[in-house]
Amino acid sequence: MTQVRPMRADARRNYERLLQVAAQAFAEHGEGASLDDIAKRAGVGSGTLYRHFPTRQALLEAAYVDRVEALGARADAIAQELAPGEALWQWLRELTEGMIQVRGLKALLGSAVADGGSVAGTVCGTVLNGAGERLVRAAQAEGTLRPDVEPVDILRLAHGVATASELADDSGRCIPRYLSLLTEGLRRRG
């Protein structure tokens, strides 16, 4: 069994500074922000950045893990407040709006649901798929959601709604309309 050594104080500071700067850079430039620029702004070399975060995806996930965990917790809170079908729709709205408001979050969700079988290894994929699973299954048990809908379908569709909203360049104002159009097709008939 390998033992993980705790980070030295300077390495911990570099790690935290990289996360802070990365979140700012992703907010300004989206998920395509320059990694070299992030390292420079954090006052470290590119090698330090890549030692902590070997891929852009790893940095993106680490920068947004708190936001993603909050979205997962929000799903549970909404489920306590609303009927299952309503809870699912409300969470989808908040998730989709979050993808518009937090640049880089849409790319993170996109990669988390690109292959339904490969998301378990990421914190973001695990949290969002778990939240979606709970809400979808509850809405299906209630009879308001088609039984053939899978949780990953919902997350992929939310990603599509966020993309459509960006194409409309309306800062998310059309999200409720798009979700309404979408959810009519997802509702159980009969």
Phi-psi region of 143 (alpha: psi -120 to 50; beta: other; left: phi over 0): left
Q: What is the pLDDT of residue 119?
A: 40
Every domain of the chain with CATH number 1.10.357.10 lies at: 64-186
- Express each pLDDT in 73-94 by its tens digit: 999 999 999 999 999 999 999 9
**Range 75-83, long-range pairs (CB < 8 A, 24+ positions):** 75/131, 75/132, 75/134, 75/135, 76/131, 76/134, 78/135, 79/134, 79/135, 79/138, 83/142, 83/144
Is residue 130 over pLDDT 80? yes
187 SS3 class: strand
Local confidence band at 115 (pLDDT 50, 70, 90 cut-offs): low
Local confidence band at 120 (pLDDT 50, 70, 90 cut-offs): very low
Answer whether 130's CB lies under 8 Å from 112's CB.
no
Q: What is the pLDDT of residue 109?
A: 78
What would the mean pLDDT of 138-165 be, rounded to a whole number?
A: 92
CATH of span 64-186:
1.10.357.10
* Mean model confidence pLDDT for the chain: 86
Every domain of the chain with CATH number 1.10.10 lies at: 9-52
Least confident of 24-38, 102-116, 130-144: 102-116
9-52 is classed CATH 1.10.10 = yes
Q: What is the pLDDT of residue 2?
A: 53
Q: What is the pTM of this model?
A: 0.80
| Residue 125: closest CA among 109, 142, 138 | 109
Q: What is the pLDDT of residue 149?
A: 92
Q: What is the pLDDT of residue 147?
A: 93
Local confidence band at 110 (pLDDT 50, 70, 90 cut-offs): confident
Q: What is the pLDDT of residue 5?
A: 58
- Express each pLDDT in 38-60 by its tens digit: 999 999 999 999 999 998 888 98
